[in-house]
């Protein structure tokens, strides 16, 4: 039943995962993993030249800057040995300028960022379409596509236009790769396949919060105050960083990071072959399935321990996900934990139902044999009803039979017979209940088992003490009946044996009975029958005598006799007080050997 419930929960969790229901909830967990990982330090091959507040205040030129100013910046970067120059600037004019075009022609490799195109689909870039005719100059899509919560976490090879819009100028362009892709193509000199960023986009491996990437001021660049070694061999991204220009995006680590710095982080991600990867869909689904089945580990635990185990498993999965993230894998967190939690709740519910049923069965089965207090102890120690399952146990069995009652009952009214028998059984039951025995009534006889269902190490001592108690109760009963009925006389025969039995439910679904079976039970019954021809009303097998922790002072040896069904004879003992004829044996007590 539990497995069926877990399979249903797993099916729902997997369906939700395939339907991307957990995707939005998964995104903040990635942000948390970035924060836990901490900063990796600035990428060594990237430099951001920021058009910052100082530049806007001291350059002496209104924003947007002229193409001549950008030409000076390109010339300085070229002379200093920049590997690729990125102009992520949208202002400054789209008309041709000779100095700007000359600077582009002299530069090693340049990409001009664009976010729109004109009517024929040509990207609108700084310097106009003439700039794109220069060898080594390429347009790139400078847009980012944020997730539903407004955070930029990924970039694609090429962004798709909005199919619901017919305005080319606002929808962008479909044939121009994104800025990081173009930069890496310029660095490598090779075209990158369209699947380089994966089907869901490449996760930007942020080196840290805003300001982690090395940055210099645009003013320092055009003033030629930046050492060449700080530029040489690097990809240089030129873009706005001033707060008043508000050219920022929200990332996993910062609410406002300049677009130029995010581009630099994306470029570094692609240069390092996208170090953060998502496992294939099949692997993610398998992880969720295993999480949904994990509560099977707690099936034998109670509710509290089961929930603790589930909590530990969930916490452990978070640790595993973080370690995997640090190693470059983005494992799913929400779907497995939701599946684990859902399966745990279902498992707790199922276990509770089964536990209630098990408690009911324990009460139903043991309530007929043992007192309510013992039943409560059994349920507390065994809430799942495991004691009802067959098991081998060492116990001590006591059989007693009321002598003379059959003859007495033949001459009496049935209701009177039943009433008198109940009086006797009540007296005997009190003795056996006090010894925590499991009781089964056999007409005018009783079978009492010590050591089940509750395990007692002193089951032999309990049985012998109970045997003495039954003997004394019978003597009192005989005296009372003699006074009341006149001439009625009763004796009892008691046989006690210790051995291994099979304890458990016996019968069918329609009628189950908890009992014990085995050779030790048969031997105890036959020892009881032997009291008819013995000078004692109580006989104790040697298997019981050797397990006594306290030997009665009047213990005497009776005989070693063969017993039907056994190949070896049984050594039998008794007590002086159990002599059926008070003038019989005068042997001295025997100590335990």
DSSP code string of 521-574: HHHHHHHHHHGGGSSBSEEEEHHHHTT-SS--TTEEEEEEE--TT-SS-EEEEE
Residue 12 is predicted with a pLDDT of 87
What is the per-residue pLDDT for 161?
Answer: 63
Exposure class string for 278-291: b at 16+ Cβ within 10 A, else e: beeeeebbebbbeb
At 158-180, the pLDDT tens digits run 987 654 444 445 455 667 999 99
pLDDT band at 150 (very low <50, low <70, confident <90, very high): very high
Whole-model pTM: value is 0.64
Instruction: Give the residue extent of every domain in the chain.
Output: 2-14+278-359, 39-271, 379-578
Sign of CA dihedral 579, 451, 430, 552: positive
Which is it for the CA torsion 583, 584, 586, 589, positive or negative?
A: negative
Confidence (pLDDT) at 343: 81
CB 81 within 8 A of CB 231: yes
Q: What angle do CA 31, 33, 35 make, to 5 degrees?
A: 75
- pLDDT tens per residue, range 56-84: 999 999 999 999 999 999 999 999 999 99
Where residue 292 falls (left for φ over 0; alpha for ψ -120 to 50; beta otherwise) is alpha
pLDDT band at residue 592 using 50, 70 and 90 as cut-offs:
very low
For tokens 């993230």, the residue is 325
- Separation of alpha carbons 340 and 59, rounded Å: 59
Tens of pLDDT, residues 233-255: 999 999 999 999 999 999 999 99
Which of 565, 521, 564 has its CA nearest to residue 543?
Answer: 521
- Which of 334, 26, 266, 24 lies closest to 149, judged by CA? 24
Query: What are the residues facing 395 on neighbouring strands?
Result: 499
b/e string for 402-430 if b means 16 or more Cβ within 10 A? Answer: bbebeebbeeeeeeebeebbeebbebbbe
Q: Which stretches of 300-412 are DSSP H helices?
A: 303-326, 334-366, 372-381, 405-410
User: Average of pLDDT values for 528-555?
Assistant: 95
More confident residue, 369 or 129: 129
Listed in order, strand segments (DSSP E) in 6-95 are 46-51, 84-87
Q: Closest by alpha carbon to 142, among 117, 112, 179?
A: 179
Q: How confident is the model at residue 553 (pLDDT cuts 50, 70, 90)?
A: very high
Instruction: Provide the pLDDT for residue 413.
Output: 87
Instruction: Assess whether pLDDT exceeds 50 at residue 451.
Output: yes
Structural fold of domain 379-578: Alpha-Beta Plaits (3.30.70)
**How far lies 282's CA from each of 7, 76, 248, 317, 521, in Å?**
17, 51, 36, 18, 59
Interacting residues of 441 by C-beta distance below 8 A, sequence separation 6+: 425
Number of neighbours of residue 194 by Cβ within 10 angstroms: 11
From 233-237, 353-357, 464-468, the region with the lowest mean pLDDT:
353-357
Question: 363, 397, 391: which is closest to 377 by C-alpha?
Answer: 363
The per-residue pLDDT for 297 is 74
């Amino acid at each position: 039943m539990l497995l069926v419930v877990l399979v249903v929960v797993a099916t729902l969790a997997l369906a939700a995962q395939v339907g991307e229901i957990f995707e939005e909830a998964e995104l903040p967990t990635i942000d948390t993993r970035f924060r836990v990982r901490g900063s990796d330090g600035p990428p060594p091959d990237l430099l951001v030249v920021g058009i910052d507040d100082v530049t806007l205040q001291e350059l002496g030129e209104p924003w947007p800057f002229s193409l001549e100013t950008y030409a000076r910046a390109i010339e300085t970067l070229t002379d200093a040995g920049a590997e690729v120059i990125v102009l992520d600037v949208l202002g400054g004019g789209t008309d041709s300028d000779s100095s700007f075009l000359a600077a582009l022609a002299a530069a090693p490799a340049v990409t001009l960022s664009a976010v729109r195109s004109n009517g024929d689909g040509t990207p609108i870039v700084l310097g106009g379409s003439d700039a794109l005719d220069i060898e080594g100059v390429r347009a790139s899509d400078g847009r980012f596509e944020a997730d539903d919560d407004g955070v930029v976490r990924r970039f694609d090879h090429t962004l798709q236009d909005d199919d619901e819009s017919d305005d080319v100028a606002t929808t962008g362009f479909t044939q121009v790769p994104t800025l990081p892709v173009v930069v890496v193509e310029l660095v490598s000199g090779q075209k990158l396949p369209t699947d380089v960023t994966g089907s869901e986009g490449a996760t930007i491996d942020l080196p840290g919060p805003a300001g982690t990437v090395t940055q210099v001021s645009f003013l320092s660049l055009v003033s030629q105050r930046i050492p060449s070694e700080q530029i040489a061999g690097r990809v240089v991204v030129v873009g706005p960083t001033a707060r008043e220009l508000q050219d920022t995006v929200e990332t996993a680590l910062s609410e406002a990071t300049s677009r130029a710095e995010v581009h630099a982080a994306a470029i570094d991600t692609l240069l390092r072959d996208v170090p953060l990867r998502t496992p294939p869909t099949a692997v993610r689904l398998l992880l969720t399935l295993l999480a949904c089945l994990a509560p099977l580990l707690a099936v034998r635990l109670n509710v509290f321990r089961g929930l603790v185990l589930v909590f530990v498993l969930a916490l452990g999965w978070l640790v595993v996900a973080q370690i995997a993230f640090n190693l470059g894998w983005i494992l799913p967190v929400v779907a497995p934990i939701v599946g684990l939690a859902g399966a745990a709740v279902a498992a707790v519910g199922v276990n509770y139902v089964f536990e209630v049923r098990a408690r009911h069965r324990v009460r139903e089965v043991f309530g007929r044999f043992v007192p309510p207090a013992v039943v409560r102890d059994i349920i507390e120690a065994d809430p799942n009803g495991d004691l009802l399952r067959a098991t081998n146990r060492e116990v001590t069995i006591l059989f007693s039979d009321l002598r003379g009652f059959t003859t007495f009952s033949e001459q009496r009214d049935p209701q009177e017979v039943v009433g008198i028998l109940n009086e006797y059984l009540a007296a005997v039951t009190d003795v056996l209940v006090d010894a925590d025995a499991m009781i089964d009534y056999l007409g005018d006889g009783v079978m009492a088992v010590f050591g089940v269902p509750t395990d007692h190490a002193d089951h032999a001592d309990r049985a012998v003490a109970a045997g003495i108690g039954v003997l004394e109760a019978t003597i009192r009963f005989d005296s009372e009946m003699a006074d009341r009925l006149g001439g009625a006389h009763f004796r009892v025969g008691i046989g006690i044996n210790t051995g291994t039995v099979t304890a458990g439910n016996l019968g069918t679904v329609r009628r189950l009975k908890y009992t014990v079976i085995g050779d030790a039970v048969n031997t105890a019954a036959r020892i009881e029958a032997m009291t008819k021809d013995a000078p004692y009303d109580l006989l104790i097998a040697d298997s019981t005598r050797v397990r006594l922790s306290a030997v009665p002072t009047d213990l005497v040896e009776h005989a070693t006799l063969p017993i039907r069904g056994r190949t070896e004879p049984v050594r039998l003992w008794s007590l002086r007080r159990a002599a059926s004829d008070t003038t019989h044996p005068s042997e001295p007590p025997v100590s335990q050997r």
